[in-house]
């Protein structure tokens, strides 16, 4: 069933947003419809934590990878020492610990790179065949960087202990390390994708309304007045007129309104063509803002600027788009 009609008739207006009630009065909001099932029990607290505290969420993300890599270093060091003792290998106790700590700390440094690469070349349905070869290549680069930094760190630490570190036969050892590193790369990638899926479920993922199966569209599809958002069993409509600013995020754009972000699978350039050009202006290669939401423009060195939005957000404005923004603001004052 099309989101625009229910049994061939336009959907009754309801309050927009994930917290809106399906029993709200029909005149609660003329711009949005709630076509939703009741929210899933127990989702409220987790949703509030994830959506309303982005800084806390980012800190939790960093802590997760720190704890994971440090735990790996501790436990792997212990098991390696026990294995060497069991085999009767005469080696200083600090050496296996150096091996494991250098390996895992370098892995920790590489996690942001994997996250950024996944954002650039996502593996969701429809594009995974095209992007998978890039990730195979990235796993090779991942291994080379991991081994290079790891060996350099080990050589430095061994030097401090008055000893010398020998990596062994490089071609053979690189093959050995790659057989381990591609699995590490895949594990990090899987964790990042699973976490992204969970976030989209909690935040709600936006989509453009599709053409109805029969009859004319209730509203223009090429230039949408609303976006359909699916979230935890709910479907609700977000008015395009309430979007405050948009940020490019890899193969997604985040629609920001009322303190929340709703990811939409689109490029910023394509969305810019669909939104009302009289209301929105491009200010950066990664940002599109609603003119009436700009509180102030703060100049910076080099010709760039910062936009202070009414919600308190500071958005970069590059010099490439600054003159166009100024002319649009002047036009708005004249109007």
pLDDT value of residue 161: 92
Exposed/middle/buried for residue 112 (C-beta within 10 Å: 0-12, 13-18, 19+): exposed
pLDDT value of residue 280: 92
Q: How far apart are CA 66 and CA 196, in angstroms?
A: 19
Q: Is the dihedral of CA 113, 160, 155, 83 positive or negative?
A: negative
Backbone angles phi, psi at 69, to 5 degrees: -70, -40
64-98 tens-digit pLDDT: 999 999 999 999 999 999 999 899 888 898 999 99
Q: Residue written as tokens 């004249």?
A: 334
Stretch 192-214: mean pLDDT, rounded? 71
Domain covering 243-335: architecture = Beta Barrel (2.40)
pTM, full prediction? 0.61
CA distances to 11, 89, 211, 237, 259 from 30, rounded to whole Å, are 11, 76, 21, 11, 20
Distance, CA of 82 to chain centre: 41
Q: What is the CA radius of gyration of the chain?
A: 26
Domain boundaries, the chain: 53-202, 243-335
CA distances to 43, 196, 242 from 263, rounded to whole Å, are 19, 11, 15
Q: Is the pLDDT of residue 15 over 50?
A: no
């Amino acid at each position: 069933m099309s989101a625009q009609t229910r049994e061939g008739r336009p959907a009754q207006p309801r309050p927009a947003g994930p917290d809106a009630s399906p029993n709200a009065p029909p005149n609660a909001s003329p711009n949005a419809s709630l076509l939703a099932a009741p929210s899933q029990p127990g989702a409220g607290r987790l949703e509030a934590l994830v959506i309303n505290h982005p800084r806390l969420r980012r800190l939790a993300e960093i802590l997760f990878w720190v704890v994971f890599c440090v735990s790996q270093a501790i436990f792997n060091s212990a098991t390696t020492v026990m294995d060497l003792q069991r085999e009767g290998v005469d080696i200083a106790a600090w050496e296996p610990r150096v091996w494991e700590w250098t390996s895992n700390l370098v892995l920790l440094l590489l996690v942001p790179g994997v996250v950024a690469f996944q954002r650039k070349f996502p593996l969701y349905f429809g594009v995974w065949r095209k992007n998978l070869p890039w990730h195979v290549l990235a796993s090779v680069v991942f291994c080379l960087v991991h081994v290079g930094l790891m060996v350099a760190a080990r050589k430095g630490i061994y030097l401090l202990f008055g000893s010398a570190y020998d990596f062994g036969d490089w071609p053979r050892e690189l093959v050995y390390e790659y057989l381990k590193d591609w699995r590490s790369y895949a594990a990090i990638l899987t964790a990042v994708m699973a976490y992204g899926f969970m976030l989209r479920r909690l935040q709600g993922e936006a989509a453009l309304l599709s053409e109805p199966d029969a009859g004319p569209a209730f509203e223009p599809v090429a230039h949408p007045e609303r976006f359909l958002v699916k979230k935890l069993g709910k479907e609700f409509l977000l008015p395009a007129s309430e979007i405050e600013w948009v940020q490019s995020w890899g193969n997604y754009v985040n629609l920001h309104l009322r303190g929340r972000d709703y990811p939409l699978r689109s490029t910023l350039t394509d969305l810019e063509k669909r939104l009302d050009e009289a209301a929105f202006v491009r200010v950066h290669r990664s940002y599109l803002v609603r003119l009436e939401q700009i509180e102030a423009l703060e100049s910076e060195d080099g010709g760039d600027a910062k936009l202070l939005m009414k919600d308190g957000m500071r958005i970069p404005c590059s010099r490439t788009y600054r003159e166009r923004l100024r002319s649009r603001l002047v036009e708005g004052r004249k109007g």
